A and B are shown apart, each in its own frame.
With several copies, the nearest count.
Chain A
Amino acid sequence: MENLRELYQQIIIEYSQKPRNFRTIENAEHECHGHNPLCGDDVTIYATIENDIVKDISFMGSGCAISKASASIMTTLVKGKSLDAVQSMFDGFHNLITTGETNEDMSSKLLVLGGVHKYPVRVKCAILPWHTMMNGLKNECPDN
């Protein structure tokens, strides 16, 4: 289980049981539903933006520990950030979980998900909340 422990760091298991920002936001201007066809899980992201800054953000849905941890970390990190900063966070995270490469600006919270790139089927779990959020922030949500 050595390898697996890299994927499922303690904090991931914790988040899966006590996810952060796991709630709805009433009348959120930005709401987006994302679905992982590989497993049938889904996530809904709620967000409010003011002056290009993410004011509030939350998520709901069903998913595995990886996806819940990813959504928890994501919502925690992007709250209060500018849309530009969110975009570059997304780019960095995307790169991290597909290649394992980090960059200096990256929050150490994201690094706990670095092990995912070794598990191709689970990459989708980690990226799903991010994709859904990006779509929601840009109002490009295909599912709405």
Chain B
Amino acid sequence: MTFDVDKIRNDFPVLFQSSRGKPLIYLDNAATTQRPKSVIKAVSSFYENDNANIHRSVYELGERATIKYEDARVKVQKFINAEKSASIIFTKGTTESINLVAYAYGRTFLKPGDEILYSEMEHHSNIVPWQQVAETTGCQLKYIPITDDGTLVEDWRNYFSEKTKFVAITHQSNVLGSINPVKDIITYAHDKGAKILIDAAQSVPHMSVDVQNLGCDFLVFSGHKMLAPTGVGVLYGKTDILNAMPPFLFGGDMISQVGLQSSKWNDLPHKFEAGTPNIAQVIGLGAAIDYINELGIDSIHQYEHELTQYALSKFEELDTIKVFGTRENRGAILSFHSEFVHPHDMAQFLDADGIAVRAGHHCAQPLMERLRVPATTRASLYFYNTREEIDILVNSIKNILKIFSVESQPK
């Protein structure tokens, strides 16, 4: 299939607007992607036609809503090739998914002396929950460092010890774009007797991810980074582990019997879905997966790969700009830095050209320390971005550099 970007762009109404008087160029997809019409429609149409609370409803509307909600679960299951739909727990996002595991697995099963291992390139959402587990259980935090070029050190195995009981690692860095060798890490973790969680917030939207092939114990991602509505995320877990865990949130739907003094839990996946779920958002996530499947996740990946390589080459024209990360094994994220222009000033000037990028620590402060910068400017791509947009970005940066270093020589 050839990738007809112009046609694809037509599916994204938000792209057709001007920002600061220029055509909008949206390059903040690692923060959140845009939504195609079909997803927006799936949500509106649910509210217009099928809206009802789910499970336990005996009326037609409620039945329809339940079927659509559970259908979406099966779509997610198939998308990441999980064995059972009971493995798919809907949350409000990656952050909640990780917290669920930290509370219900970490605080339950980790003991003083155990070690939790993560990497130096984790997102705060995959750091802070584990710090809390360490604080409450008395276990230790260790991390795998990264190299100067922004990849996991090659001898990452050396950071495992007999005490390593849990590994939490990102599939793809949200700053560097580096893709980690998670399959090897998962195998090694299991050899060492550790459980492992993969933060797939930046991988599932962009590449084919197969949880059975990977073999991970947990995998987490967010809908809003893959065309779906805000307010929905996924926790995949192996059912035997999920079954062994206590629930996280308590309330309606997650119990099978409640007395005034104690209660019994419901089966998976309901045990972990307390209260009225984010029904419309889950259905929207199903529609997003349909959209991605229509394009083909491999075609998306291929297109993004070529676009990234193009962008990396174009950035080479900018002498004083350093792009972090390697050329190989990287996703469509470009974090860059200029000695002369602070990342926020850079982003502000790009904004004036209608270009939406992100400046800051990208919720990865430990990584910023490692890179010895307070912040970076980050352009992150999705399949609706184009080479023309990259050209405009690079041109705009050129102008900004001029303003800051040429125009403003001390008088």
Q: Which residues of A contact B (CB under 8 A)?
A: 1, 3-4, 7-8, 10, 13-14, 16-18, 35, 37-42, 62-66, 119-122, 125
Q: Decide if B2 is an interface residue (CB 8 Å cutoff).
A: no
Could you list 12 A-B pairs, sorted by A, with CB under 8 Å? Answer: A4-B20, A4-B352, A8-B349, A17-B340, A38-B56, A39-B360, A40-B375, A120-B67, A121-B57, A121-B63, A121-B66, A125-B344
Q: Assess A64 versus B344: contact at CB under 8 Å? Given A37-B257, A38-B55, A121-B63.
A: yes
Inter-chain contacts of B58 with A (CB < 8 A): 119, 121-122
The contact of B361 among A17, A18, A39, A66, by CB within 8 Å, is A39
Q: CB distance B410 to A17 under 8 Å?
A: yes
Question: Is B16 positioned at the interface, with any CB of A under 8 Å from its CB?
Answer: no
Q: Counting CB contacts under 8 A, is B320 at the interface?
A: no
* Given known contacts A13-B407, A17-B408, A40-B374, A4 and B56 CB-to-CB distance under 8 angstroms: no
In the complex, residue of chain B having the shortest beta-carbon distance to the beta carbon of A7? B348
Contact A121 to B56, CB < 8 A, known contacts A3-B352, A35-B257, A40-B375? yes
Residue interface bits B317-358, CB-to-A below 8 A is 1, else 0: 000000000000000000000001011110011011100000
Contact A14 B410 (CB under 8 A): yes
The answer, yes or no, to whether B365 is at the interface (CB within 8 Å) is yes
Q: Confirm or deny: B368 has a beta carbon within 8 angstroms of a beta carbon on chain A.
A: yes
Whether the pair B375, A3 counts as a contact (CB closer than 8 A) is: no
B342 touches A16 (CB 8 A): yes
Residue of A16, A18, A122 near B348 (CB, 8 A) is A122
**Residues of the A chain whose Cβ atoms lie less than 8 Å from the Cβ of B257:** 35, 37
B385-410 at interface with A (beta carbon < 8 Å): 403-404, 407-408, 410
| Docked-complex contact B20 and A3, CB < 8 angstroms | yes
| Complex contacts, A7 vs chain B, CB 8 Å | 348
**B256 within 8 A of partner (CB):** yes
B256 contacts A65, CB within 8 Å? no
Return chain B residues, CB-CB under 8 Å to A40: 360-361, 365, 368, 374-375
Chain A residue nearest to B368 (CB atoms) is A40
* A39 near B348: Cβ-Cβ < 8 Å: no
The reply to whether the CB of B38 lies closer than 8 angstroms to some CB of chain A is no
B266 interface residue, CB < 8 Å from A?
yes
Residues of B within 8 A of A10 (CB): 407-408
A65 & B342 in contact (Cβ 8 Å cutoff): yes
B359 at the interface (CB under 8 A from A): yes
Query: Which residues of chain A come closer than 8 Å to B359, judged between CB atoms?
Result: 39
Q: A39-B375, A40-B365 are in contact. Are A14 and B352 (CB under 8 A)?
A: no
Q: Mark B166-192, 1 if CB is under 8 A from A, else 0.
A: 000000000000000000000000000
From B399, which residue of chain A is reached at the shortest CB distance?
A1
Interface size, chain B (Cβ < 8 Å): 35
**Using an 8 Å CB-CB cutoff, how does the interface string of B50-70 with A read, 1 for contact, 0 for none?**
000001111000010011000
Asked if A18 and B342 make an inter-chain contact with CB atoms under 8 angstroms apart, the answer reads no
Q: Which of B56, B66, B345, B360 contacts A16 (CB 8 A)?
A: B345
- Cα of A39 to Cα of B342 in the assembled complex, Å: 11
Are the CB atoms of A37 and B266 closer together than 8 Å?
yes
- Bound CA–CA A3/B361 (angstroms): 26
Closest 3 CB pairs of A and B: A37-B256, A64-B342, A4-B352
Residues of A within 8 Å of B67, CB to CB, are 120
Complex partner residue of B349 from A4, A16, A39, A125, CB under 8 angstroms: A4
CB closest residue in chain A, given B255 = A37
Q: What's the least CB distance linking B355 to chain A, in Å?
A: 12
Contacts of B256 in A (CB 8 A): 35, 37
* Closest A residue, CB atoms, query B58: A121
**New A-B contacts (9) at CB < 8 Å, excluding given A39-B343, A40-B361, A121-B63:** A4-B348, A4-B352, A8-B348, A10-B407, A14-B410, A37-B255, A39-B374, A64-B344, A119-B348
Q: How far is the CB of B56 from chain A (nearest CB, A)?
A: 5
A14 to B340, CA, bound (A): 11
Smallest CB gap from B404: residue in A: A13
Contact with A along B251-266 (1 / 0, CB 8 A): 0000111000000001
Measured CA separation A63–B58 after assembly (Å): 15
C-alpha spacing A39/B348, complex, angstroms: 13
Measured between beta carbons, the chain B residues less than 8 angstroms from A38 are 55-56, 360
A78 to chain B, nearest CB (A): 23
Set of chain B residues within 8 Å of A66, measured between Cβ atoms = 344-345
Chain B residues within an 8 Å CB radius of A3: 20, 352
For the complex, give the distance between the alpha carbons of A130 and B408 in Å: 25
Are B360 and A18 interface neighbours, CB within 8 A? no
> Contacts A38-B56, A40-B361; is A17 near B404 (CB within 8 Å)?
yes
**Nearest chain B CB to A66's CB is how many angstroms away?**
7
A13 to B407, CA, bound (A): 9
- Nearest B-chain residue to A120, judged by Cβ: B63
B residues near A16, Cβ cutoff 8 Å: 342, 345, 404
| Inter-subunit contact B403/A13 (CB<8 Å) | yes
